[in-house]
């Protein structure tokens, strides 16, 4: 068994109903993990569980709104009841409202930060209680290059994602001594329901490609390897880091 193999591990993936989370759930299951897939849509989760099981994997659907108070603990508890343990958390669920800073409302601030930052933290805290106790864990937070460099896609989203990156560092500082590695993946653009509208605009897409040294947007497959790596024993001495999966975008000065 290679150090990248996730056989014998149980993972929770939030926002797994579609997009990046769905791809990561499939990828971790293919790597051997039992996966608890979380989003608000039971129908999307049931379809994903069927897909994973038909491919020979083990999956369990947990329909939940992780911004609700107590939901993170309930998700962790349901996972442990179903699979007998928890080793990996992929904090993926996220959203954006692309308002200019002068137009941001309190309601928008609250909605974006509630999911992108607050829920990500309380999911990490709920999983961390189990992981620190058992002296083993892997937390993979999904931020954005928008947390590393300034994008035109919203200041609240950017602040939330930058907060996730810094949260990763502090959790790594506090939990690494318990064998819990906490890291972040920062994607650039990938075609999902979150970005479909933007990417269907030829001028906007060309702007993206002009800022991307690889000259293409990401394929969901491009995220699976980094996620498996950070979730595996191959990354046992890595904690607090952020890997930009961005086609070189975040280092493109001029």
Ligand X SMILES: C[C@H](O)[C@@H]1OC(=O)[C@H](O)[C@@H]1O
Ligand Y SMILES: NC(=O)C1=CN([C@@H]2O[C@H](COP(=O)(O)OP(=O)(O)OC[C@H]3O[C@@H](n4cnc5c(N)ncnc54)[C@H](O)[C@@H]3O)[C@@H](O)[C@H]2O)C=CC1
Which residues belong to the active site? 157
Structure tokens at 254: 């001029």
**Phi, psi angle pair for 189, to nearest 5°:** -75, 135
Q: Does residue 144 bind ligand X (CB under 6 A)? A: yes
Structure tokens at 161: 């994602």
**Contacting residue, 11, 12, 13, 19, with ligand Y by CB under 6 A:** 19
Category of 69 on φ-ψ map: left (φ > 0), alpha (ψ -120 to 50) or beta: beta
For the CB of residue 42, give the shortest distance to ligand Y in the complex, in Å: 11
Query: Which of the choices ligand Y, ligand X, none does residue 40 contact, using the CB cut-off of 5 to 8 A by kind?
Result: ligand Y
For ligand X, give the closer residue by CB, 130 or 185.
185
Q: How far is the CB of 44 from ligand Y (least distance, A)?
A: 7
CA dist list (Å): 69 to 96, 114, 123, 149, 164: 21, 11, 11, 31, 19
The DSSP 8-state label assigned to residue 190 in this structure reads B
Strand order in the sheet with 10-14: 59-63, 34-39, 10-14, 88-91, 137-142, 180-187, 242-245
Q: Which is nearer to ligand X, 195 or 232 (CB)?
A: 195
Residue from 18, 98, 111, 129 that binds ligand X (CB under 6 A)? 98
User: What residue 190 binds from ligand Y, ligand X, none (CB within 5 to 8 A, per partner kind)?
Assistant: ligand Y
Residue 95 binding ligand Y, by CB under 6 A: yes
Segment lying near ligand X (by CB under 6 A), choices 49-57, 100-108, 174-182, 187-195: 187-195
Which partner in ligand Y, ligand X, none is near 93 (CB below 5 to 8 A by kind)?
Answer: ligand Y
Q: Which of 4, 18, 47, 97 binds ligand Y (CB under 6 A)?
A: 18
CB of residue 123 vs ligand Y: minimum separation in angstroms? Answer: 10
Cα–Cα dist 170/230, whole Å = 17
* Coil vs helix vs strand at 224: helix
Tokens of 202: 């030829």
Backbone angles phi, psi at 140, to 5 degrees: -115, 105
Beta-carbon neighbour count of residue 203 at 10 Å? 6
141 binds ligand X (CB under 6 A): no
Kindly list the residues in this chain that would bind ligand Y in the complex (CB under 6 A). 14-15, 17-21, 38-41, 65-67, 92-95, 115, 142, 144, 187, 189-190, 192-195
Where on the chain is the footprint of ligand X (CB under 6 A)?
96, 98, 144-146, 151, 153, 157, 188-189, 194-195
């Amino acid at each position: 068994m290679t150090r990248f193999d996730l056989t014998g591990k149980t993972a929770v993936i939030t926002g797994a109903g579609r997009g990046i989370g769905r791809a990561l759930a499939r990828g971790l299951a293919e790597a051997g993990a039992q996966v608890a897939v979380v989003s608000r849509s039971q129908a999307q989760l049931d379809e994903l569980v069927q897909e994973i099981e038909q491919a020979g994997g083990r999956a369990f659907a947990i329909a939940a709104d992780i911004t609700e108070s107590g939901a993170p603990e309930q998700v962790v508890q349901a996972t442990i009841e179903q699979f007998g343990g928890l080793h990996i958390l992929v904090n993926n669920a996220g959203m954006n409202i692309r308002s200019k800073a002068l137009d941001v409302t309190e309601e928008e601030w609250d909605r974006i930060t509630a999911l992108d930052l607050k829920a990500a933290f309380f999911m990490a805290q709920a999983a961390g209680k189990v992981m620190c106790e058992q002296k083993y864990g892997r937390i993979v937070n999904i931020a954005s290059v928008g947390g590393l460099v300034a994008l035109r896609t919203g200041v609240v989203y950017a602040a939330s994602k930058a907060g996730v990156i810094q949260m990763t560092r502090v959790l790594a500082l506090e939990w690494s001594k318990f064998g819990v590695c906490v890291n972040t993946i920062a994607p650039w653009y990938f075609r999902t329901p979150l970005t479909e509208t933007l990417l269907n605009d030829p001028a906007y897409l060309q702007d993206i490609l002009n800022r991307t040294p690889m000259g293409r947007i990401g394929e969901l497959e491009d995220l699976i390897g980094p996620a498996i790596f950070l979730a595996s024993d191959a990354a046992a001495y890595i904690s607090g880091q952020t890997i930009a999966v961005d086609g070189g975008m975040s280092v493109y000065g001029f």
